[in-house]
Structure 1
């Protein structure tokens, strides 16, 4: 059954940095190619991942791959700072800047194109959200237009029938994307403070999170596991499988 199409594909080459909108992506066993494949570690917290939770301004740093997506190795990762400077993601000057802003000691870690472990990605391979659910939440909040980047999905779907939170009815079922890819919806995404951070200016507003907790049991979006790998494209049809 046709339920919609892929409106946006977003991967995050660097964990907690602003994502990269792509027209096409390989779906690997771990999720989108290169998603959360590079990360910064907070050495003041015994090497835990440095994230927006500790350093909200991370949302204003933009990361992208520069070059062809290869299975043997990742292309160069380029970072644009909030001030518009461009660096390699491991550049000492970039790391010093982030250390000064965050007041933390930072190191780096990266994975291979064939394997990104659960942890850097989140709790499952892919995070999916829909336009109808975002529109409904926006009305529930009643304050500002909500940038879906707050929720950091990999796949943003435009639904054929604009039924809010329809994707939650798919939990336990499989969907097919395009000609090859199949994913299984496995559970709700419980939200944290990250959604309170505006991706444009890093300002925080806790009322959005409070509204989601009160009205939606803190759920927005659904997690999925990869069943069949392949290529997906913006505009691909999404079918709910029996």
Structure 2
């Protein structure tokens, strides 16, 4: 058994781009609302242009436009922001070319709707992040792992991987189901700000010492609302 609270919420409207910090979020069987709605692809193909192959993507941000009644709304198309701060609408005809130019994608890019986040939400535990930073001898940012939820809980570092898949985890007033630990790709080894620097030592450590996992996936079949500061329990 454990208890704690939600410290951060994040949404990534476009796969591979930096996301937006939230105060609250709606989650249902499709995943966190507004998360990973769009992706980049090589024109005319199904080949994804993703952060592991094009780490300069993370110099860009994507965020849903704030709504007067709800700043965390997922309504409307995401807005794209390049590293210099210039904003681009999804329907701007110059956006694909500008993306391709700045992320080193010589074949160009197409922006397409995706299947979203596959109905799951990624949770990272702060105790494990602190322990990983201690092991590496430097701060490892949670942004490298692109979590939806960052929690503080009275669990030992990495103890979340001993939790049984299928067990109930309560976030705020709602029950979620633990699906499985997140198997990591090469993406966490790249700086999460698009500066195009790779930490190969971190990549090796995650593979050899953490069984190539960091964070856990949770799902829900019902509509839930989670907020920063909500209690968690399992």
Partner SS for 2:78:
strand
Structure-to-structure mapping, 1:32-111, within 5 angstroms: 32-43=32-43, 46-68=45-67, 74-100=75-101, 101-110=104-113
Kept in 1, the 8 Å contact 2:96–2:111? The answer is no
Q: 1:196 aligns with which of 180, 189, 192?
A: 189
Contact residue 24 and residue 228 of structure 2 kept, 8 A? yes
- Structure 2 distance, partners of 1:27, 1:234, is 14
Compute the TM-score of the two structures, normalised by the length of structure 2: 0.89
Structure 2 residue runs of 5 or longer lacking an equivalent are none
User: 2: distance between equivalents of 1:81 and 1:129?
Assistant: 27
After TM superposition, the runs of 4+ consecutive aligned structure 1 residues lying more than 3 A away are none
CA distance in 2 between counterparts of 1:18 and 1:217 reads 26
**TM-score normalized by the length of structure 1:** 0.86
Assess, with a 3 A threshold, how the Cα gap between structure 1 residues 105 and 86 changes in structure 2: closer, same or farther. Answer: same
Matches within 5 A, 1:68-217: 68=67, 74-100=75-101, 101-110=104-113, 117=115, 120-121=116-117, 125-142=120-137, 144-159=138-153, 161-172=154-165, 173-179=167-173, 181-200=174-193, 201-217=195-211
Provide the secondary structure at the position in 2 that maps to 1:212. helix
Q: How many pairs align?
A: 226
Mapped to 2, the partners of 1:171 and 1:128 lie a distance apart of: 15
- Structure 1 pair 90–51 and aligned structure 2 pair: CA distance change class (3 A): farther
For residue 191 of structure 2, give the secondary structure of its aligned residue in structure 1: coil
- The Cα shift of 1:121 comes to 2.2
Deviations 1:125-184 (A, max 9, x none): 111111000001111112x3111110011111011x2510122233321111112x2211
Distance change >3 Å, CA 229–CA 170, structure 1 → 2: farther
Which residue in 2 is equivalent to 1:223? 217
Corresponding residue SS for 1:82: coil
Q: Tell me which residue corresponds to 2:30.
A: 30
Q: Contact 2:65–2:75 (CA<8 Å) still a contact in 1?
A: no
On the 8 A contact 1:198/1:204 being kept in 2, the answer is yes
Partner Cα distance (1:176, 1:227) in 2: 13
